[in-house]
Chains A and B, each alone.
Chain A
């Protein structure tokens, strides 16, 4: 993997690049650029993420290191595959080559919302969710927390052998959590707040895998309704963990958290500090059922409410979610999420990713830097702030201040007026032995346990058909 011999080619085309035919640029962020390329030999599509050398003399960015470190170890159908790493010693840039995925949940949801005006079919929603959970269960059982799950980071494969298969991507913020992890904001990292778990918003000092499950709950609701469930407006001053508006949006839908339902709530800094906003009871007429389109007694609703459980210790785990009744009833989830389950149903043709063919691997766009290449896609409004991106914002990896999918003007139409109803979402009250999934490796040599040889106790035993 990675020859790194860059001696050969000229400045524009290092030797290793000969194996790729560049198609064009498909994304951009502060860390660098993303290109679409075809392998010269097999003609399969590859997404190449180029990391720029930081100017501060910090060498390879920690984001790239994390991504390489984790993806070099992972191997799962629902986790994006790192196929190659290349280094260009001349300009000290680093390239990560991934299997290319044509779609992502952000674009799929948007296509339904803005172009089709109808919801995503049940089979597709369920298959996408199941595969997302399947990949996440793999990560969590291997002690990896993603920490930045959102629709734009959940990719779906286009035409080919893996058509309609979900791939969790962008591991730039992911971590192994053998030791407790400090909140990202302490490193000044900015991530989208819409999918951020309430314990983090209230100043919890450590991450658990439950933060990913909250994000999955938000994504599930968005797949059902085509609009983000909690669209808080971010308080931008400094990396700020306390996001009052985001909390307010959550309270509006789920009601206020109480120490009765969430005992450790009283220990969280912002619960203690802010009596007026946080402890006050502004919303009485709340209820998740007012915001999602599924019947309150349905398994889908039950699963969703268990993902959006306030208490992280009671929140459903990925492993438990996979066993939920929702996935055992028709339509059953399948491997190709984009193909309709019933023969009569119409196939949705999702738009392909726009490609800026004027860019070369150096990222130096040859001509017309301000020309929007991807007309029709630039209309979303939420990339208006991204002055650096001529074509459109990066579909993945949005932990970039200027490029976040922020709740701008156009989004306000999604807000649904709360209706009467006091039913709080079911809490589930499941005692979850979080962290018990995988024992430290030397456990396997323990006596009196014949089942523990060389196998991996952490892996889910898949009973599914596909």
Chain B
């Protein structure tokens, strides 16, 4: 239900970790590796973030947009359902659903869902502006889209999401849990960590409050706080919390971070990956 996570479509749609990070057949044929598939998702999440800063929307809208983006390329229905309903929704390939267009479209759709609509023409304007800043990179042309492209893709994304639009995020539980634990001084660190989790697929796999707990767990380790008793009193499986935390830390190691904690992805690698899926057969 819209306000109860346990009865929501979000909860029902949580995926097995091994089902999320899979390169779609069509993309595989183009030579896209799993590594490149991941890089594109990270890169596009960052693009949504940058674009959102330009059009000034709330954090929540960004988080919802990135969740949509990741769902488009991860959504799978079990075999049984496919057998019953031939037209059922399947994982979309990046070949058919160009991530450079899907990303801004997800932001566009999320802004409507979260009741802070951003006009498509504004998005198009800022996408072009961002491209100009990026310099004379070869792939710039491919980032240029018209309003019509976004509106067409909006419908395709709606369809790819199977019209499930309500998304729960770790932010709200995070604040409540920090309050409960009496460590609101860690808010900034933990909040930043939650932001970082959107560079991964965690939101498709775990309930948001578990992600929030993992971020609190890491924040405690970073800031040398002992919350062992508080965690023990929670009615949650701490093994899962610790596993999520490990995943987050591994991800940080995987991405080389610059001095400000920003992720650095070599542009040539991104372009190479994007060109693979964009190439006509």
Contact = CB atoms under 8 A, between A and B. Distances in A.
Interface string A31-75: 000000000000000000000010001111010010011101111
A368 to B, nearest CB: 33
Nearest to A454: B6
Contacts of B115: 62, 175
Interface in B1-52: 1-9
Contacts of A458: 1, 3-4
A143 interface: yes
A65 B165 contact: yes
Interface string B102-123: 0000001100110101011100
Nearest to B174: A442
A86 to B, nearest CB: 9
B262 interface: no
B6 A144 contact: no
Q: How large is the interface on B (under 10, 10 to 19, 20 to 34, 35 or more residues)?
A: 35 or more
A441 B5 contact: yes
Q: How large is the interface on A (under 10, 10 to 19, 20 to 34, 35 or more residues)?
A: 35 or more
Contacts of B53: none
Given A142-B4, A178-B3, A445-B235, A73 B151 contact: no
B162 interface: yes
A19 B185 CA distance: 58
Interface stretch (A87-95, A122-130, A162-170): A87-95
A390 B276 CA distance: 55
Given A62-B117, A73-B8, A92-B151, A87 B159 contact: yes
Contacts of A454: 6
Give the one of A1, A75, A85, A455 with max B CB within 10 A.
A1
B164 interface: yes
A57 B151 contact: yes
B165 A441 contact: no
Given A445-B209, A447-B234, A176 B2 contact: yes
B273 interface: no
A380 B149 CA distance: 45
Contacts of B1: 73-75, 142, 456, 458
Interface in B109-155: 109, 112-113, 115, 117, 119-121, 147-148, 150-152, 154-155
A340 interface: no
A89 B234 CA distance: 49
Given A60-B154, A92-B152, A85 B163 contact: yes
Contacts of A448: 233
A444 interface: yes
**In the complex, the 7 A-B pairs of residues with the closest C-beta atoms, listed nearest first:** A3-B87, A143-B3, A441-B5, A442-B173, A442-B209, A69-B165, A447-B233
